[in-house]
Structures are given as C-alpha cells and as structure tokens.
Amino acid sequence: MNDRLHLDLHVDSHVDFQWGVKIVLRDGIHLNATLYLPRPACAPSPCVFTMTPYIADGLHDRAVYFATHGVPFLIVDVRGRGNSEGEFRPAIQEAHDGYDVVEWIACQLYCNGKVAMWGSSYLGYSQWATAKEFPPHLASIVPTAAPYFGVDFPMRNNIFVPYVMQWLALTAGRTSQGRIFGDSAFWSRIYRRWHESGRAFRDLDAMIGLPSRIFQQWLDHPELDEYWDTHNPIPAQYARMELPILTITGSYDDDQPGALEHYKQHMRYATEVARTRHYLVIGPWDHWGADVPRAEFGGIRVAPQSLIDMPKLQLQWYAWTMQEGPKPEFLEKRVAYYVMGAERWRYVDTLSEATSRHTTLFLDSLGEANDVFASGCLQKVRGSGVPDSYVHDPRDTGGPEVAAEACIRADSLVDQSVILALHGKLLVYHSDPFEADTEVTGFFKLAAWIAIDCPDADFYVSVHEVDLAGNSIRVTTDAMRARYREGSRAARLIRTREPLLYEFEKFTFVSREVKRGHRLRLVIAPMGRLIETTFAQKNYHGGGCVSEESAAQGRPVTVRLYHDASHPSALSVPLGRN
C-alpha cells in the first residue's frame, strides 16, 4: 500500500487533507503526519508544523484554521505516539527528530524552504528543543506555555508533584488517554491514597499500577544537573539563536517559570540583533488560556480586552517573519503584558522595564503570626518582635488539605478555606491598606531568616490581594526545599538550629493594580498544606533521598521565622510604571 493515503474528505472547501504522511528520520524511524494544504493549490510557500505527544486528532481545528488562511500545516505525532514508530522518551527525542522534520518539510513541493513551528505546553518545549539543533530551514518559532525541563516540569524548584504520573498516564502507549487524564476527581483520590499511605514517593507509579521507567529516571535527578541540561538549550546554543521568536505565557500559567526561563536565557546570551527579534506576551491567563484565552478561570474574571485572537496573532507573526508582511499591530513593543485590575495592556522593550522600582515591606509580629485574623504585619520599618513559628509533621494526614475535591476546585485562585482552617500551621502577614491604586508589576522577592530543627524542610510561599470585604486573590507563588537554599544544583542539608537567610527569588511574574484600601497578604506554609498544592512530594525531614523516604523516617519540624534588627525578614514588592 502507498505510504501516503490521500483522502479527499472535503474538510473544508479551502483545505486539501492528507492522512498518513510518513516522514523518515535519520535512524529509519517513520513519524506520522497529517497534512493540511490550502486549496486550490498555490505556489510553494512557508509551512508551519507542530510535534505532539497528544495525538494529531486533537489539533485538527487549528490546522484547518491555518490552512484556510493559506498556510500549509502539518501535525506530527512524536516518536512512539499516535501512528508514529519508535519509543516515546519524553523530552529526550524531540531535538534530533525535530531537526529531521524541519529539513524533510523544506524539501516538499508545497514548501518554499521556510519552515516554522507552533504549539503550546510540550509542543512549545519541542520548539526550543528543535531550535537548539539549528536546522538550516527553521525560520521562526512561537513557543506557548513552554516548560523548561528541570525548572518547572517534572519538578518545580527541586520539588516533584504527583501530577507527573498523571501526565505519564496521558502519554502512555500510542493512543489517546484524554478521558483518564481529565478525570480530576479520580486522580485526586489516587493522590490521597498515596498521601495517607506513608509510602515513599518512588512507589507512586507502582501504587497507580503504571510502573514507569521515565518516572524513576526523573526521580534519580532531584537537582539540576547534566541530565536536565541535555533537555534544554545550553548558553552557547541560546547565543547562536537568531531566528524570530514569539514567546507566549500567562500570569497564572503553570509553565510560566519555564517559558520565562527560556526567554531570560535567550535575552542573556543572544546577540543584540537576535534579542530584537524575540517578542514576549504575558496575558492574564492560566496554562490552557495561554493557548485559547478565556475571561474566567480559577474564580476570577478579566475584561474582554484581554481576549486577544491568538490564532490571528500567530498567523500575522508568520506572515511578518516569513513573507515580509506587516508587523502585527498588537506587538507595539517587544514585551506586552496585561495589568489585571486596571484591565489594560502595557508595552515595554524588555521585561525588566516593566518594573520601575521595588518597595520593601518588613515582616513583624508579636510572635503569633499563625492565623489570618491574628496575623503579623508587613511594614516599612524593620521588625523587632520575637520569632514566629509553626510545627509541621508530615506523618499527619488529617486536615483540610486531603479533601478529595480540593484538586478540582473551579475557584482555586480565590478560595481561602484551607488558609482559614490551618490555624497554627502556617504564618500570615498583612500590609497596611494601600493609600492609592498601585500597579504591582514584576517579580516579588522574599528574604526570610528561618531556623529549623531538622536537616531539611519544604516551604511554600504565596502572596494575595485582600479587598475591603476580606475576599482574596492569589497573586504569585514560590517554593523552596531547604537543602537547596544555596542553589538548585547542589544539596546542602541544614546542620544548625540557628536562623539562616532563605532568599525566595523564583516567584512567578505578576501584573496587577492593587486597589486603594486593599492589602497584601503573605503566607508561608509547609509545601502541600495550601489548596493549590494539595498533593506534593512529601519531605519527611530525615535528610535522606526525599523520593525514597517514607513515614518510617518521618519527623516533625519546628519552623521559626525571625524578624528582628539582626534578622530583617522582608518582602520586596515590584512596582509598575504608574
């Protein structure tokens, strides 16, 4: 049988659909592609493709959109998924395979030699992986919500989450597992069973009934090392990248840390000319909204002007970068970001310009800042109170954090129920009411003097805006495992009970207008206690390999946060360009 089966399915009167296109890679493996060509046939033109582990069928509508607007589009099943041959090895295979696909497309009769890539999440990552191999005919990439492996997936700041097994179930085998993956209540019950079992995190795949070599391999690398370096571009590769790049992410995108890490690395190492070709859009979106913007998510609503037509913007980008078309009007400057609350877009030439300055708010209390209604304060002068403290026992599986429905709440950004219920088990600090509407844009930082009585512990930090009625919106988050307080590449267990400086400098980017009379709330808690991180890899505080420790090695940790003259714990608040 011919390896290319042409089906005239009349998908659209302007689309010629070809199923089962086979792309031969350098090692003889055949990848499967679905081809969408503009109709009637036209002269060779630039082509766009995407590489997906999620089965080509799921991207049919977007492919039709591009083809009906004159752009040949291919959806390629990655190695080992869908109808492609080989074994799926996440993030390891896409670089060389992507190179081969680019060069194969460039030789097709419908292509004029210019090839671009498209896609979000893993599809965004595959663009960076391909670009670092420098295929000669790759003309542009548009990575959306793209993870940076080792930074935000499958772990964030050296802390794994059970979700990685949910993702591995989604991509297991060759067919779609979308219904299983999307059953949040089902996975929440599985995570709860593990949470209550006291078993080591390394046992999770066996408990689920899906033994995974990839999962075990990931756990063998709990810090950034050469293994993770092979997944992403290295500095020398960022330095050589000169193709036009449009990076897209959201203020609440789970992969925002990865998307911005790629952006920052390219800005740091690329040539001046290459930096001028890299554009960045940060909208008021979550992970899914970065691809298809929506007005409501997580219990918050944003204005209609935030809902840019993403396919149209991308289409204009390809026309500008590959066909000498006009520059997209939306891209007024190289960085576009949306100010929530003020409900408007702002534009700057570099991301750092979005922040005009930082203001410092020092932590202080009377020693009992462990309740929302009896909190410590964030003030302009240094604190002078006695240390605040809480005790966390990882063997304690009770409390609101294990509610089965917690992982699927539709109001996750505004819900306060868990914070309110965790009296004595977290630290809370409030600022004075803001005297005027104030734009907060950029990256928060927290310098906290913390003492613990165990070799290790995990911390989850979040900042919220609280209105006059006491309602709150989560603004930004950060997390840290104590053994990595000096860097993500080397573990250093805590050998003293004296306070040490913990610098939380990996908060997510935020742009929000804090209204007059509203306050900021800072929450410091054990990782896994707050609702948005209901289930995380458990740190049993024993100081051994976290993935292998179980409740048998568990011990409670007492956390003390100092804020006196010698230990000025402080929150640095980024102010926008009012």
pLDDT in tens, 167-212: 999 999 999 999 999 998 999 899 999 999 999 999 999 999 999 9
pLDDT above 60 for 137 = yes
Q: What is the mean pLDDT of the chain?
A: 93
Q: What does the pLDDT average to over 347-366?
A: 97
CA 314 from centre of chain? 21
pLDDT band, very low/low/confident/very high, at 14 (cuts 50, 70, 90) = confident
Q: What does the pLDDT average to over 474-486?
A: 97
Q: Is 143 helix (H, G, I), strand (E, B) or coil?
A: strand
Q: What is the token pair recorded at 522?
A: 């800072």
pLDDT in tens, 279-323: 999 999 999 999 999 999 999 999 999 999 999 999 999 999 999
Q: What percent of the chain has pLDDT above 70?
A: 94
User: Exposed/middle/buried for 561, CB within 10 Å: 0-12, 13-18, 19+?
Assistant: buried
Q: What does the pLDDT average to over 426-451?
A: 98
Distances from the Cα of 19 to the Cα of 100, 380, 485, angstroms: 20, 64, 51
**Residue ranges, CATH 2.60.120.260, the chain:** 357-575
As a CATH number, domain 5-152+226-353 is 3.40.50.1820
**What is the DSSP annotation of 359-395?**
EEEEEE-SS---SGGG-EEEESS---SPPEEEEE-TT
pLDDT above 50 for 5 = no
191 residue type, one letter = Y
Is residue 287 within 8 Å of 253, Cβ to Cβ? yes
Q: What percent of the chain has pLDDT above 90?
A: 88
pLDDT above 60 for 7 = no
Which residue would you say has higher pLDDT here, 5 or 462?
462
Class of domain 357-575: mainly beta
Distance CA 307, CA 57 (A): 25
Q: Report CA torsion sign: 230, 235, 236, 240.
A: positive
**What is the DSSP annotation of 218-284?**
HHT--S--HHHHTTS--HHHHHH--S-EEEEEEEE-TTHHHHHHHHHHHHHHS-HHHHHTEEEEEEE
Q: What does the pLDDT average to over 442-463?
A: 98
Distance CA 309, CA 328 (A): 12
CA 505 from centre of chain? 16
Q: Specify the pLDDT at position 421.
A: 86
Q: What does the pLDDT average to over 508-520?
A: 98
Which residue would you say has higher pLDDT here, 557 or 531?
557
Is residue 116 within 8 Å of 321, Cβ to Cβ? yes
DSSP bridge pairs for 33 = 21, 76
Q: What is the DSSP letter of 516?
A: T
pLDDT above 50 for 438 = yes
Q: What residues have CB less than 8 Å from 233, skipping those under 6 apart? A: 128, 131, 132, 241, 262, 265
pLDDT above 70 for 403 = no
pLDDT band, very low/low/confident/very high, at 402 (cuts 50, 70, 90) = very low
pLDDT in tens, 565-577: 999 999 999 999 8
Distance CA 285, CA 294 (A): 7
- Neighbouring C-alpha atoms within 13 Å toward the C-beta of 276: 2
Q: Is 62 helix (H, G, I), strand (E, B) or coil?
A: helix
Q: What does the pLDDT average to over 328-332?
A: 98
pLDDT in tens, 232-242: 999 999 999 99
pLDDT in tens, 37-91: 999 888 999 999 999 999 999 999 999 999 999 999 999 999 999 999 999 999 9
Q: What is the token pair recorded at 536?
A: 């995380």
With tokens 């568990």, the residue in question is 554
